[in-house]
C-alpha cells in the first residue's frame, strides 16, 4: 500500500459505537503528527477501535522483529496516541479519545503539540460540516446520557422547584447535581481543559474562561490524576469555590465519566471551544453531542427585571427577549437544562423544574459489538497512557 493508503486504512479503523473519525485531508495531517511512516505501517495491521492486538500477533503480521516493534509502541503509548490494555494495544478514535489523552498529558514535542492544536481546533470548529451523525449514533449517545449536564452547586437549595402538575417522578436524584460529587468525596482535582488549551495554542483563546479552568475530577480518579501530574489537587473548600467560579463564568458541568452510583469526572464547557457543546449549539441539535438534563428553566415574572443576563449567558442561545415585550421566550427544544441561567440570575427569578425522568447513565452503558472492549475502557486507557 502507498503511504496515503496506509493512513486511510487506519483512519477507517478509528471508530467505535457513536464515535468515528471523519474523512478529510486535515485528519490525515493530524494523523501524521501522531504517527510517522514507521508507526503507520505497524498500525495498519491493528484491528478497528474496540479490538486489541498483541506484540506477538504484530510480529507475525508485519514480519518486523519484536525488538523493533516494542519501542515504537511504547513511544506511541507514552504520547497517548494509542491505548495499552494489559499486554495488548488498540486504536482509539481521535475525538473523543486521543484528543483528551494527548493534551492532558502533553508528553509530545512542543512543535507537534502546536501542530496538533491547530488541526484539532479546525476539526472542532468544522464538525458540523465534516460529520454526518446517523440516527443510530444519536440514539446511542441519548441512551448513554454520558454527556448530559449536571445542575449547579446550589441547585437543590436555591434553584430547583417541584411542579406538581407534571406527571413524572419528581424526586431529584443526587447524581443529577454537581454538589453530589463534592459531598461524596474527599479527593478533588482540576485538569487543564484540552478544548480551551488548543484554542490558546492556536491563537484563538476562549473569552469565557482560561484553559486552566478545566475538567473537575473526584475520588480515585482525582487521586490518580494528581499522582500522574495531570491534575492540581484541591481541598473540599477549594473544590466548592472552584465549581462556583466555573458557574459564574457561564460554564456547563457536563458528565465525562460516571459509574452506576456517582459521577467522578466532568468537563466545564463553553460553547465556543468545547468539542461537544460547540457543534451541538452551532447546529441547534442537528449534531447531538450533549444530551438534555431532566430539568428546564421557569421564569418568575414578578421577580424578573428583564436584565437579559440569562439571554447573554445561555450556551444554546435558547432564551430570547423580543423587542418591546415584557416576556422572555424559552425554546425548550434547544435548552439542555444546564442551569447556567438560573445560577446567574441576579434576582433569583429563574428556577429549574423537573420536566422528564430519564436516568443518568454511565459511559460504560454505550453498547459495543460482541467481543469489543468498551469505549469507556479505551478512553480510560488513552488517558492513563500505559
Of 77, 92, 380, 67, nearest to 225 by C-alpha is 380
The answer to whether position 238 is within a domain reads yes
Q: What is the pLDDT of residues 73-97, one digit of tens each?
A: 999 999 999 999 999 999 999 998 9
Q: Are residues 108 and 184 in the same domain?
A: no
Count the helices and strands in the chain (H runs, E runs).
17, 12
Q: What percent of the chain has pLDDT over 90?
A: 68
Is it true that the peptide bond before 350 is cis, omega within 30 degrees of 0?
no
Record the pTM: 0.90
| Range(s) of the domain holding residue 202 | 147-360
CATH number at residue 74: 1.10.10
What is the reported pLDDT for 365? 52
The answer to whether position 377 is within a domain reads no
Q: Are residues 259 and 356 in the same domain?
A: yes
Residue range 360-382: mean pLDDT, rounded = 71
CA distances to 8, 92, 122, 250, 291 from 27, in Å: 10, 14, 10, 31, 26
The answer to whether position 159 is within a domain reads yes
Amino acid at each position: 500500500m502507498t503511504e496515503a493508503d496506509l493512513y486511510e486504512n487506519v483512519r477507517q479503523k478509528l471508530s467505535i459505537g457513536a464515535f468515528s473519525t471523519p474523512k478529510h485531508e486535515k485528519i490525515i495531517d493530524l494523523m501524521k503528527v501522531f504517527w510517522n511512516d514507521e508507526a503507520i505501517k505497524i498500525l495498519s495491521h491493528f484491528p478497528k477501535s474496540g479490538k486489541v492486538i498483541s506484540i506477538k500477533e504484530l510480529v507475525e503480521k508485519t514480519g518486523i522483529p519484536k525488538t523493533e516493534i516494542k519501542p515504537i509502541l511504547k513511544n506511541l503509548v507514552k504520547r497517548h496516541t494509542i491505548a495499552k490494555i494489559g499486554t495488548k494495544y488498540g486504536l482509539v478514535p481521535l475525538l473523543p479519545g486521543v484528543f483528551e489523552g494527548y493534551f492532558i498529558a502533553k508528553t509530545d514535542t512542543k512543535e507537534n503539540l502546536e501542530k496538533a492544536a491547530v488541526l484539532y481546533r479546525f476539526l472542532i470548529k468544522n464538525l458540523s460540516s465534516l460529520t454526518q451523525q446517523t440516527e443510530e449514533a444519536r440514539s446511542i449517545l441519548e441512551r448513554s446520557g454520558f454527556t448530559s449536564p449536571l445542575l449547579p452547586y446550589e441547585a437543590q437549595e436555591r434553584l430547583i422547584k417541584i411542579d406538581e402538575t407534571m406527571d413524572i417522578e419528581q424526586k431529584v436524584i443526587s447524581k443529577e447535581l454537581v454538589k453530589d460529587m463534592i459531598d461524596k468525596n474527599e479527593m478533588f482535582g482540576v485538569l487543564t481543559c484540552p478544548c480551551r488549551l488548543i484554542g490558546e495554542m492556536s491563537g484563538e483563546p476562549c473569552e469565557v474562561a482560561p484553559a486552566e479552568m478545566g475538567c473537575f475530577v473526584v475520588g480515585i480518579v482525582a487521586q490518580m490524576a494528581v499522582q500522574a501530574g495531570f491534575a492540581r489537587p484541591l481541598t473540599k473548600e477549594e473544590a466548592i469555590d472552584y465549581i462556583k467560579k466555573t458557574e459564574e463564568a457561564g460554564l456547563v458541568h457536563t458528565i465525562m465519566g460516571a459509574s452506576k452510583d456517582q459521577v467522578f469526572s466532568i468537563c466545564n464547557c463553553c460553547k465556543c471551544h468545547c468539542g461537544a457543546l460547540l457543534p451541538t449549539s452551532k447546529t441547534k441539535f442537528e449534531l447531538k453531542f450533549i444530551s438534555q438534563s431532566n430539568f428546564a428553566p421557569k421564569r418568575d415574572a414578578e421577580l424578573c427585571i428583564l436584565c437579559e443576563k440569562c439571554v447573554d449567558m445561555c450556551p444554546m442561545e435558547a432564551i430570547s427577549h423580543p423587542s418591546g415585550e415584557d416576556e422572555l421566550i424559552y425554546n425548550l427544544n434547544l435548552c439542555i437544562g444546564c442551569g447556567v441561567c438560573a445560577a446567574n440570575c441576579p434576582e433569583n427569578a429563574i428556577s429549574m423544574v423537573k420536566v422528564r425522568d430519564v436516568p443518568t447513565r454511565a459511559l460504560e452503558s454505550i453498547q459495543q459489538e460482541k467481543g469489543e472492549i468498551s469505549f469507556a475502557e479505551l478512553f480510560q486507557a488513552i488517558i492513563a497512557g500505559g
